[in-house]
Amino acid sequence: MAYENVIIIVVVIAVLIFGAKKIPELARTFGKAKGEYEKGRIEADKELKEFKDKEELK
């Protein structure tokens, strides 16, 4: 129940700061940034695994 109150407060503050029209654009931008972060993390994990595999072969 406390978390619901925090979420409501954050949303109200965001609307007051950015305006109701700007919120969807900010959410889209945040979603894209999160997606790019995930892609980078996955790529780094792949490269680290490849490096470990090469080191084990030596």
Domain chopping of the chain, boundaries: 20-58
Non-local (6+) Cβ contacts of 15 within 8 A are 23
pLDDT in tens, 14-51: 889 988 888 899 889 999 999 999 999 999 999 999 99
Q: What is the pLDDT of residue 1?
A: 62
Q: What is the pLDDT of residue 46?
A: 96
CA torsion angle 35 37 42 46 (round to 10):
140
With 90 as the cut, is the pLDDT of residue 56 above it?
no
Give the whole-angstrom CA distance, residue 29 versus residue 11: 16
Q: What is the pLDDT of residue 57?
A: 77
Give the whole-angstrom CA distance, residue 26 versus residue 23: 5
Q: What is the pLDDT of residue 58?
A: 66
With 80 as the cut, is the pLDDT of residue 5 above it?
yes
CA torsion angle 23 26 27 30 (round to 10):
-160
